Amino acid sequence: MQQTTTGDKVVKGINYTLLVLLAASCVVPFLYVISISLTPISEVIKRDGLVIIPTNITWTAYKEIMQGGRLLDAYQVTLFRVIVGTLLNLVFTVLTALPLSRRGLPGRSGILLFIVFTMLFSGGIIPSYLLVKQVGLLNSSWSLIIPGLINAFYLMIVKSFFEQLPEAIDEAARIDGAGEFSILYKIVLPLSVPIIATVGLFYAVWHWNSYFDALLYINDTAKQPVQLFLRQILLASVAISGDAAEAANSVNPISVQMASVVVTTLPILVVYPFIQKHFTRGVLLGSVKG
């Protein structure tokens, strides 16, 4: 058995120290956000805004956010967008990426060139708005899903993954009488769980965090997603914080801002650990060919 030298102990100690500091740099900011969201304004002022573990806990900031029940309505819109939007994104992305991964597809080079062109140039905000308005999607939840049905970058990632799958498997399945959808459902999809989970997470996070498209297309407050609703809360809290006298007699605007951060990030933090292994593996498989 090899003995551990003093140099090895020093190196191990340095590694552990760096890992602890790295973990603290990730945990402490989030702990600070949670603490401020639960801390009364008097304690925040007393500690000069540096609160890691609050001594007094108040739920006033969260009550302010949930006032009127609009947050629950906004969550319903966001959940519909995330669940239905991500599902449709994956369906159309996979159905587009699979034929493009086959080198025998007629016109494949031209189609790929067109897709890459859309990654570099876009139509702009005004033409996109006019198009959404022309097809009658304004003030509809579908205006948050259909315009971004396929992301060109994610499409290329999935295509690169499909290109790594042996075409001999498809040929053997065709010899056995399997059709294209049978090959997709029974062969391609089971082998593609890592990349599908990865791209699905990308799409879901994009849907969850997006607010600008809702700002353009949604005027009805009852149909606004949670990100747009909390943006309005943040703007209102900033306006309150500009008046010190008013802020002293109301909820802490900083606590409202931090509570908004917690409300928007907590669902992603809860879901991410369950798909982390697929996420890491999918990124590597989708980016390296061979």
As a whole-number percent, the residues of the chain with pLDDT over 70 amount to: 86
Q: Are residues 115 and 195 in the same domain?
A: yes
Instruction: Supply the pLDDT for residue 288.
Output: 46
Are 8 and 125 in the same domain? no
**Structural domains counted in the chain:** 2
Pair 168, 129 in one domain: yes
- Domain range holding 185? 60-287
Same domain, 64 and 183: yes
Residue that finishes a domain, picked among 58, 83, 106: 58
Q: Examine the pLDDT at 138 and tell me if it is beyond 80.
A: yes
- What's the rounded Cα separation, in Å, for the pair 157 and 64? 42
Mean pLDDT throughout 3-30? 83
- Residue in the structure block whose two tokens are 């970058």: 153
Residues 136 and 220 in one domain: yes
Q: Are residues 24 and 152 in the same domain?
A: no
Closest C-alpha to 160, from 86, 100, 118, 89 = 100
On whether both 181 and 41 belong to a single domain, the answer is no
Which pLDDT does position 248 carry in this prediction? 45
Last residue of a domain, one of 10, 32, 58: 58
123 plus 221 within the same structural domain: yes
Average pLDDT, stretch 217-223? 86
Closest CA to 71 of 225, 256, 259: 225
In the prediction, which pLDDT does 246 show?
A: 46
- Whether 95 and 41 map to the same domain: the answer is no
Dig out the tokens for 129 from the structure. 């708005």
Q: Does residue 89 sit in the same domain as residue 32?
A: no
Share of residues in the chain with pLDDT > 90 (%): 17
112-127: pLDDT as tens digits: 999 889 888 887 888 8
State the CATH number of the domain containing residue 73: 1.10.3720.10
Asked whether the whole model's pTM tops 0.95, one would answer: no
CB atoms within 10 A of CB 274: 10
With bands split at pLDDT 50, 70 and 90, how would you rate the model's confidence at 3?
A: low
65 with 136, same domain: the answer is yes
What pLDDT, in 10s, does the model give residues 76-87?
A: 899 999 999 999
pLDDT of residue 184: 81
- Select the more confidently predicted residue: 275 or 235: 235
More confident residue, 128 or 26: 128
**Final residue before a domain boundary, out of 58, 78, 107:** 58
Give 282's contacts (C-beta < 8 A, 6+ positions apart): 161, 194, 195, 196, 197, 198, 199
